[in-house]
Amino acid sequence: MSRRGMGIGVLLIGAFVPTPLATAQTDEAALGRDLAAAAEAPCWQPVYAEGRRGLPGVMGGPAIVRERCEAPATLRAARELARRHGEEAAPYWARRAGEMSTPPERGLALATLVALADRPGPADRLAGLLFDERMSGNVGVAFSLIVDLHGPSARPLLERLVAEACRRRRANPERPPSLQSFLVLSRAAELLGAVGDEGTRDFLRGLLARGGKADPCALPLRLALDAIDARLSQPEAERAAWGRDAIEFVKARWFHSGSISAEIDACRGAGWLAGRGVRLGVPFLRFPLSGRASADLAVAVAGSQREAALIPDLARVAERQRGGYTSSMAVAALGQVGTREAMDALLAMVRPDFPMRIAGPLSVLARDGDATTLRALVRLATDRSFDAADRADIAAARDYLAARLAGRPAASPMGDGPQFPPR
């Protein structure tokens, strides 16, 4: 079967019970012994550290473990089990991956099933798991395994999953589509944005054209197309690096989301990338910063990496999102960059039509500014184009910065930034 044929074919995910032939060819006792031995190996344990509920590291939900099942030891163990037992064991791995007991074995079974999923039978078994509502907390982990184990060659599998998710979401217009089908669609589409080719673009356009008005699949498909267009517009020599950055980016979003604050999620994601030694490239970061994708994580990463090349992009985000938390994040990121150009970009926001209190350029200038910044604030504090309340705020930032630069004790108890007069 061709890759495109797999992409539009109907998944046989109803075949969820092992066939007699598969059962005859599979010694489940031997599989269980191999699975338990691999899961108990010392190199496997860090993957499941710090879990508090469910399956630590795989089924426990986002942001509750230190390390995830993308650890090299996990991938090696999964590949070895897949090689040793072949695709005939896929029904066993699917069953064990869906069990609620023996957490380490369950996670390794999922990874092993994913390792086999470049073949139609195991791919159907994996799809059966992914569309099961009980797997809602593990969709991101499963897709992380897909791209880690298969890389760009995961395209046919991802296309099949996108096609099946669209079929399910469009099947009954009278009933609201399930959240699980949306999770599968959005995760698979995001990865296609990172690894898709010209054929993938045609495939997604075809799916989108069949959706009609009020298509419940339109948004993930359009976002994936935008990402593919942006990546393929790069010089061919740079596309692979862009794709790797895109994969790391979406993983950081998947594994650091769901808190009460999108800003906290973005900062955690940026910290997770930095802690793993991952530095995203400027060409890729410009794509989400441009507004064609969610900018929050890109803003946090740009600040964490102190990307001076992205100062104009961060300034545009602050202007475009003015009054919102993303604008405040962009202002803070400019402060993290901390160069003269970054301070000048912040000073350009000190004007009557910009929400200076909400977005925070004055606080950042007071905390991170230099003597040149101080001279600018001295001038702006007497500028009559500002109303009296704004001038008082500028004066508070000026006084804080002057005390900080002079090293006066008065700067110490002021807290992390100037205290603005009440309004």
**Residue 154 covered by a domain:** no
Of the pLDDT bands very low, low, confident and very high (cuts 50, 70, 90), residue 343 is very high
- C-alpha 319/C-alpha 334 separation (Å) is 13
Name the band, by pLDDT with cuts 50, 70 and 90, for residue 350: very high
Tell whether pTM > 0.85: no
Structural domain includes residue 317: yes
**242 is a domain residue:** no
pLDDT band at 94 (very low <50, low <70, confident <90, very high): very high
What is the Cα–Cα distance from 370 to 402, expressed in whole angstroms? 9
Indicate the burial class of 204 (C-beta count within 10 angstroms; 0-12, 13-18, 19 or more).
buried
Choose among 248, 265, 249, 267: nearest CA to 257.
265
Of 25 and 258, the structure prediction assigns the larger pLDDT to: 258
CA distance 205 to 211: 10
In the three-class reduction of DSSP (H, G, I as helix; E, B as strand; rest coil), residue 158 is classed as helix
d(CA 330, CA 332) in angstroms, rounded, equals: 5
Domain count, the chain: 1
Whether 237 maps to a domain, the answer reads no
**CA–CA separation, 342 vs 162, rounded Å?**
42
Q: What is the CA radius of gyration of the chain?
A: 26
pLDDT computed for residue 7 by the predictor: 39
17 in a structural domain: no
Q: Which residue has the higher pLDDT, 307 or 322?
A: 307
The chain-wide mean pLDDT, for the chain, equals 84
CA atoms in the 13 A half-sphere facing the CB of 317: 33
Q: Nearest to residue 254, comparing CAs of 304, 157, 187?
A: 187
DSSP label of 148:
H
Q: In terms of C-beta density within 10 A (0-12 exposed, 13-18 middle, 19 or more buried), how is residue 132 classed?
A: middle
**Domain containing 393: what range?**
306-423
**Helix segments in 171-261, DSSP class H:** 179-195, 198-209, 218-232, 236-255
Q: How far apart are CA 213 and CA 190, in angstroms?
A: 22
Domain annotation covers residue 262: no
Place of tokens 């009054």: 323
Return d(Cα 315, Cα 5) in angstroms, integer. 45
Token pair recorded at residue 251? 């993983």
Q: Are 365 and 401 within 8 A, CB to CB? A: yes
Q: Is residue 149 part of a domain?
A: no
Least confident of 97-101, 193-197, 307-311, 380-384: 97-101
pLDDT per position as a tens digit, 137-188: 788 889 999 999 999 999 999 999 999 999 999 998 778 778 999 999 999 9
Tell whether the model's pLDDT for residue 47 goes beyond 60: no
Q: How many CB atoms lie within 10 A of CB 36?
A: 14
pLDDT, position 394: 96
Per the domain annotation, does 419 fall within a domain? yes
Decide: 358 and 380 in contact? Cβ < 8 Å.
no
Alpha helices by DSSP H, listed for 309-407, are 311-320, 325-337, 340-347, 356-359, 361-368, 371-380, 388-406
